[in-house]
A and B are shown apart, each in its own frame.
Chain A
Amino acid sequence: MSAGGPGGEAVTAETANQIDAKGIGIGLIGIYIAGISGIPYLAFLAGIGAIFATKMGADAVRRVCSYGIGTGVPSIGMLALGMGLISAMFGLAIGKMLGVVFIGPIVGLVLALVIGFVVGTLANKIIKLNIPVMERCLMEIAGAGVLVLTGLSVMIAGSMDFVVISKLVIETGYIAPVFILGALGILHPFNASLGPDETQDRTMVHALSCGAIAMVIGGVCSIAVIGPIAGIISTIIGLAIWYVTFMGFIKLVKRDAGAGYVGTGLLPPGAM
């Protein structure tokens, strides 16, 4: 649920631009190395790209949901992957149709930014949510959705070709865990960490560990798709990232949990 109360802009240590640059940069580089090299043992790089994209999405969710959207945090994660799914598949398909496979992820990303902007504008101007960061955050969330879906799909299939992904990831049904784990990585960190004592670094470490879980499951799926060795490499690297980030998360939980309390003030009039 929303953080409650009047809400306001979230306090940030790492700026949105830095997180976006890392998410888009590492996301695309990982997807391209894994997709173009053709070496199945490098497929895990797309998964690492997806982890950073997850972090970018989770930070955008954090910023938009700290205003209190009234519908619960999960809705925006599902919206992200709904928009991301359409854009990611369109991007990969258009790359295949035009015969230049490698434009796929970038076309998908650009389209997601457009859809995110349109949906954000609709939410602000027509539905009148009046959240100042809505347009930008929905663009980031949709972009993160595309990169997570493309990254995990490329990691499972070991290729950026739409026909291969369609046959190995979509028709086999592996798109379902990719979809729901990608959405969880984006929506869960803030949903679990929200509250008056929420801190950005704790939520972000949580996002990385959720992304790593998606990578582990993607690696298990790819054992059956591109081969046991490549799949096991992805799984083990995912597990290692998960262990490191989850231990970091526990450390930050202990840091933030002390004996103190944070005053939240009285309930606003008419809150009940």
Chain B
Amino acid sequence: MTPEISIIGMLMGNLPSIIGIIIGGLCIAVGVHFVPVGGAPAAMAQATGIGTGTVQLAAGSGLTGLLAAGYMYMTLSAAGTPGISEIVLICATGAVGAMIMITVTMLVGNWVYIYGVGVPPASAKRDYDPITGDPQTPYVAAGTVGQGIPTVCFVSGAIGGLLGGLGGSLIYCMLMWVNGDPAISSIFAIGVFLVNAVLPSYNIQGTIEGFHDPKFKRLPKAILACFIASLLCGIIAVIIPSGAMLSGGA
């Protein structure tokens, strides 16, 4: 009834998957630093960024990316087990899915800030927008640290969505390689995703404006921490087989 499964053998055989999970985890960790997270102050239009926490944004974009990637995986795997080129396509789909989610959130959020709250989007971290060159300081309301999502934050957020979706889909593909079970792979990808999204959010102390924010320089610490965490998660994840494999292919 119980198949003989050697743990060491599985680890060695699945080394590429572990490396893939680590790369995916690092993509998520870097992606979190790009997303303009404003937290509760931004929800009151007193800080630049989207008015919610890192984890909600990362989980939202990551899950949208996973859905897109899962659909693409299903379509492409109809012809057989996906190879490297298919995995590139799947990860690209996941990245675009996550980018759509995060950009729509920023766009609609900006409508609310501009037309609802009545504030001009402005960054408090730079005097001039690094992309458009527009002056920012005159538009930052007194007593606040910016408001809304200015161009540079929008671009940075789109890059963050890309990296988050890419990382999530890569982890999903790697797990599908190992166990071939979409349910277990996706729920595991969510678990690894959350661990890798929360650790960097401690690194940025909950808020960041994007790649132009001085906090972005803390990135190496998050990369080191997430490397270790992803390695641990990857080793555990590749040992788990699918339910079908355990019950003897039934």
| A interface residues (Cβ-Cβ under 8 A, vs B) | 1-2, 69-72, 74-76, 78-79, 81-83, 85-87, 89-90, 93-94, 96-99, 111, 115, 118-119, 122-123, 126-129, 162-163, 165-167, 170-171, 173, 175, 179, 272
Contact = CB atoms under 8 A, between A and B. Distances in A.
Contact of B194 (A81, A89, A170): A81
B222 to A, nearest CB: 7
B201 interface: yes
A93 B246 contact: yes
Contacts of B54: 71, 75
A74 B55 CA distance: 8
A115 B230 CA distance: 11
B119 interface: no
11 contacts: A69-B202, A71-B198, A75-B201, A78-B55, A85-B188, A89-B188, A90-B237, A115-B233, A127-B221, A127-B222, A171-B181
Interface in B194-250: 194-195, 197-199, 201-203, 205-206, 221-222, 224-225, 228-229, 232-233, 236-237, 239-243, 246-247
A192 to B, nearest CB: 14
B192 A128 contact: no
A90 B7 CA distance: 12
What are the 10 tightest A-B residue pairs by CB atom distance, in nearest-first order? Answer: A166-B243, A82-B194, A71-B206, A70-B205, A85-B191, A79-B198, A99-B2, A122-B225, A72-B53, A70-B206
A163 B56 CA distance: 31
Interface in B1-49: 1-3, 5, 39-40
Contact of A82 (B184, B195, B241): B195
Nearest to A72: B53
Interface of B: 1-3, 5, 39-40, 53-56, 59, 143, 181, 183-184, 187-188, 190-195, 197-199, 201-203, 205-206, 221-222, 224-225, 228-229, 232-233, 236-237, 239-243, 246-247
A79 B194 contact: yes
A118 B229 CA distance: 8
B183 A70 contact: no
A115 B228 CA distance: 11
A86 B181 contact: no
A82 B246 contact: no
A78 B243 contact: no
Contacts of A119: 195, 199, 229
Nearest to B145: A272
Contact of B192 (A81, A82, A163): A82
B1 A99 contact: yes
Q: Which residue of A69, A111, A119 has the most chain B CB atoms within 10 A of its CB atom? A: A119
B243 A163 contact: yes
Given A122-B199, A127-B221, A170-B243, 11 more contacts: A69-B202, A82-B195, A82-B198, A83-B191, A85-B188, A86-B236, A90-B236, A118-B232, A122-B225, A127-B222, A175-B183
Given A71-B205, A78-B55, A118-B228, A89 B240 contact: yes
Contacts of A96: 2, 246
B193 A123 contact: no
Contacts of B243: 162-163, 165-167, 170-171
B187 to A, nearest CB: 6
A71 B246 contact: no
B55 A71 contact: yes
Contact of A122 (B181, B229, B239): B229
B218 to A, nearest CB: 8
Given A79-B195, A119-B199, A72 B39 contact: yes
A126 B59 contact: no
A78 B194 contact: yes
B232 A170 contact: no
A195 to B, nearest CB: 14
B239 A94 contact: yes
B192 A86 contact: yes
Contacts of B194: 78-79, 81-82
B187 A175 contact: yes
A72 B181 CA distance: 34
A72 B58 CA distance: 14
Contacts of B201: 71, 75
A29 to B, nearest CB: 26
